[in-house]
Structure 1
Amino acid sequence: MSVSLYYTAHRATPLSASESAAVTRLIDARQASFPYEDEESLYVYDARTADAGTVLDGSTKLPFDPGRLLPVVAHVLDSVTELRRTLPDAEWHVHLDDLDIEWDEAAGYELPGMRDADLAAKLAAERER
């Protein structure tokens, strides 16, 4: 059984050409900076298959490896934060399966402990056992 992050943006007007270009650049940059080749990164679905009013839709399957979980969660949520700031007038829904992730204007999307270096080290050490 896998756990995934889901992210969706809705609004009445489709993306403009400049917005589409900005989103594409951001997605490409965030995927290029992803820390693990063999894990799923930010994944945005093909806009042509989206429901009416959906301007961005995607998901990321999270790793089973506890040592990789926090870096992946932090990277993807930081990516979605940048996307939301690129499309601020859209209505966003970000969730981890059934758990909604709330927006914080200053911090963006975060989960408790996702930047805790001690917790990340502990999880990585457990992986080595």
Structure 2
Amino acid sequence: MSVSLYYRADRATPLTEAEAALVQRVAAAHTASFPYEDEERLYLYESEDDAPGRIVGGSTKMPFDPDRVVTVIVRVLGSVTELRRALPDARWSVHLDDLDVPWDEAAGYALPGMDRPWPGGEV
């Protein structure tokens, strides 16, 4: 059975060119620093034509290797935290299958009981 992390942002106005470029920079930085070539990482959907108002959407399938799953979760949530801070006026939803991932204004996204992720931080 696979578990996935889902993330999305919605708002009435589409991304500006500057915002779209910022989203791409966050995704590129995440990809460049991701430690596992063979694991799924931050994955942003190309188009959300079937979801009006969706400005960012994506998902990441968690690895089966228990030694890697925490690292993947922390790194992806760190990137999603960066995205939310870059697009603060959007309505965000982040969840691990049916478990909502809470937002903390100071620390960002993290699962209860886990260290809070931080952009570019090491796990």
- TM-score, L = length of structure 1: 0.86
**Judging changes above 3 Å, is the alpha-carbon distance between structure 1 residues 102 and 10 closer, same or farther for their aligned structure 2 residues?**
same
Unaligned runs of 5+ in 1: 117-129
- 2:95 aligned residue: 95
Runs of 4+ in 1 over 6 A off after TM superposition: none
Q: Cα RMSD over matched residues?
A: 1.4
Q: Percent identity among equivalent residues?
A: 63
Count of residues in Structure 1 that have an aligned counterpart in Structure 2: 116
- 1:78 aligned residue: 78
Deviation of 1:112 after TM superposition, in Å, equals 3.0
Query: Aligned partners of 2:50, 2:37: CA distance in 1, in Å?
Result: 27
**1:10-40 deviation line (CA, Å, top 9, x unaligned):** 0000000000011111111111111100000
Unaligned runs of 5+ in 2: 117-123
**1:75-119 deviation line (CA, Å, top 9, x unaligned):** 000000000001000000000000001110011000134339xxx
Query: Aligned partners of 1:103, 1:29: CA distance in 2, in Å?
Result: 22
Which structure has the larger Rg over C-alpha atoms? Answer: 1
**Higher helix proportion, which one?**
1
